[in-house]
A = this chain, B = another copy of it.
Amino acid sequence: MKSTIPEAGAPIAQSASGNGIDRQEASLHGETLLRLRDYVVEGNIPEGARVPERQLCQMLGISRTPLREALKVLAAEGLIELLPNRGARIRQLSQRDLEELFDVMAGLESLAGRLACEAITDEEIVEIERLHYKMYGHYLHRDMQGYFQINQRIHESIVTAARNETLRTAYANFAGRIRRVRYSANFARKRQRWAEAMREHEAILDALRRRAGSELSDILFQHLRNKRTAAIEHLAEARDATAATAAEG
């Protein structure tokens, strides 16, 4: 297999993709970091593959110095690995790694829910209710894509309502790591859990309305835990399938 990196020399512009993790768009290093992070998160380089410095330099139209700085940061964020004298590789997450990640996400959302109950306004709750019913519509129409998007927005709204930028940043970081897997594994939610997830969302909204922090915290943790189970199962199947295909070919 050859490289997956385009040859184009589109130099760095004002992309400012703002994923909430970082914001030094001014410097070449900062731009590179933002673009490269998105590039990796979107699954443009396969798991375990090398991150070819020279090629990326050409692609981004920069020298190796700022690129390498960005790579060090991405390594610290857990998206890539740095092997001594062997450069950077896209970090391959084991099943265990994924379980851990999901649990940390569960912990962060659980925290977000608790904090949100302290700070959320009535207007924000109304907005989440609106999203909730819209999502319910997608559920009724069996529109998984639409459902999934709204679902994500609801969770983000809760994190926002927590009024804690530190939490939001950490959340974005871990979400990015999981998103990378989702992209590359072509993840989809399992249908069988759909009804259950919908019920859990009812409970989330209910606890939020009552601003029952510790209860919401519990529900959110369990909700994410169930997501985790489904995701891990799905991923295991996907990997088995890939392995089988590889064995055939």
Using a CB–CB distance below 8 Å, which chain A residues touch chain B?
A: 22, 24, 26-27, 29-30, 65, 68-70, 72-73, 75-78, 82, 84, 97, 100-101, 103-104, 106-108, 110-111, 114-115, 164-167, 170, 174, 214, 217-218, 221
Q: Is the CB of B167 within 8 A of A103?
A: yes
> Is the Cβ of B114 less than 8 Å from the Cβ of A221?
yes
Given contacts A65-B65, A69-B72, A107-B110, contact A24 B164 (CB under 8 A): no
Chain B residues within an 8 Å CB radius of A78? 166
Choose among B70, B100, B166, B221 the residue that contacts A167 (Cβ–Cβ < 8 A).
Answer: B100
On whether A164 and B103 interact (CB within 8 A), knowing A84-B26, A110-B110, A111-B110, the answer reads yes
List residues of chain B with CB within 8 A of the CB of A107: 107-108, 110-111, 114, 167
Q: A115 contacts which chain B residues (CB < 8 A)?
A: 103
Q: How far is the CB of A94 from chain B (nearest CB, A)?
A: 11
Complex: A166 Cα to B24 Cα, angstroms: 26
User: Given the known A-B contacts A69-B68, A114-B221, are A76 and B22 also in contact in the complex, defined by CB atoms under 8 Å?
Assistant: yes
CB of A30 to closest CB in B, whole Å: 8
Residues of B within 8 A of A104 (CB): 111, 164, 166-167, 170
What is the distance, in angstroms, from A204's C-beta to the closest C-beta of chain B?
15
Q: Which 4 A-B pairs have the closest CB atoms?
A: A107-B111, A100-B166, A26-B84, A73-B76
Q: Are A170 and B170 in contact (CB under 8 A)?
A: yes
Q: Please state if A111 and B103 are interface contacts (CB–CB under 8 Å).
A: yes
**Can you report 11 residue pairs joining A to B where beta carbons are below 8 Å apart?**
A27-B84, A68-B69, A73-B73, A103-B115, A103-B167, A104-B166, A108-B111, A170-B170, A214-B218, A217-B218, A217-B221
A114 contact set on B, CB distance < 8 A = 107, 221
Further contacts, 6 of them, CB under 8 A, given A101-B166, A104-B167, A114-B221: A22-B76, A27-B84, A100-B166, A103-B164, A104-B111, A170-B170
In the complex, residue of chain B having the shortest beta-carbon distance to the beta carbon of A26? B84
CA distance A167 to B165 in the complex (A): 19
A101 to chain B: which residues have CB within 8 Å?
166
A115's nearest neighbour on chain B, judged by CB, is: B103
In whole angstroms, how far apart are the Cα atoms of A107 and B30 in the complex? 29
Shortest CB distance A93–B (Å) = 10
Q: Is the CB of B111 within 8 A of A24?
A: no
From known contacts A69-B69, A106-B111, A110-B110, infer whether A24 and B82 are also in contact, taking CB-CB under 8 Å. Answer: yes
